[in-house]
Structure 1
């Protein structure tokens, strides 16, 4: 008994084309599936790589922000102020200053371990910082916090060490040059899904004959560095949250056009406690 070849049973060329088509369909499907799998694997690898790079850049910016706030010059001046109090036998002020200084360092180090912290913690660190600097500015200054209704500082989160560079700029590039006591105002509010922060001071422009030795060491360099670090941190925040954070800086002028202070406006995504 002979075994017939299935291909010989095809009576027309159309049958041959149909058979070839049926044989090729699974091959094409398998090929396309393999291409899709390879594409997905490479795509996931690229996403993981971008996420790793973003985490690395974020960690680097946070470390730069930490170094910018707890800088050697600030630590040196704080310890020097404590030493002067001790020399004057003013142990009460020395003790208070030391407690505030140690409290600030503890807060900064603790907060720097977190990606976001409650706004209340950021304000606490800012207040300690300004209380320490009040003793160093020639004529002193006041500060005011204005938190709009509906904004809970305990439930709203912000990147740590976010505002300190701007407060430092207001103190040493504005209030430090005033002939009388100055002031800083910080206002916090929310609009839609964004947190809006406004900082204003009534500082004076540096006089043309200012003594460079009377200003903090490398003050201009630190001014640009602190602002640059904050801008880079917000750029990373925009990438990680698909947001549109902004920083705007402008001079305040009186009716005659004379410099009357600085205004900083910051808008970041509103991060609230779940």
Structure 2
């Protein structure tokens, strides 16, 4: 098994242990994620309680849930992340990648809630969708408090009704080449979008945000394009992503993650 896959499992294990407070059937969404499923990251409603209450609960949860990978100081130096590629995120000093706000601002609680809920395929960040929704909101509030920057209005684009039509996809394909996207997204410099489950989401508004704002800490730079061009690119990317539910992770990676979760379930 490639070293990268073994290290991925080392990072998944703490997450699985944090969730495995009951028999295996009590965290089916983590199992589904380990098998390649793309989980829904949307909450059922607004954040519960006051911000202060969420912050206090999130600080309490961060230790048992996140410290092994992100470290006690949240800077990505946890023991389970040693040698991992990509490394666990530095949540205190560097902006998180998946967001609806500029890198100079804090992400929203909803940005973080989505990542915590559905995990990030291809990394050691597992899905915590089986945790109570209130706890996911609490973790989001606490992590946001650690993030650099100030408040900013998030992007909230509304997809056009003709988003996934052939003309938009065709125009998007031409832009994909013209903007240099194809030069990176070959599986070497950046993920091959036709072969891998998206780390973030295939949701139109989130793809729009990724293209517009870029991904901090990566070669994916912000793009100041007209809204129509951005939606054309979104349409094209959606057209080449693997179909939801299809096998989009390495077979060995899937097997290894499933074995880790099975081990947790069998020993608790």
TM-score interval, smaller chain: under 0.3
TM-score, scaled relative to structure 1: 0.22
RCO higher in 1 or 2 (8 Å CA, sep ≥ 6)? Answer: 2
TM-score, scaled relative to structure 2: 0.23
More strand by share: 1
More helix by share: 1
Structure of greater Rg: 1
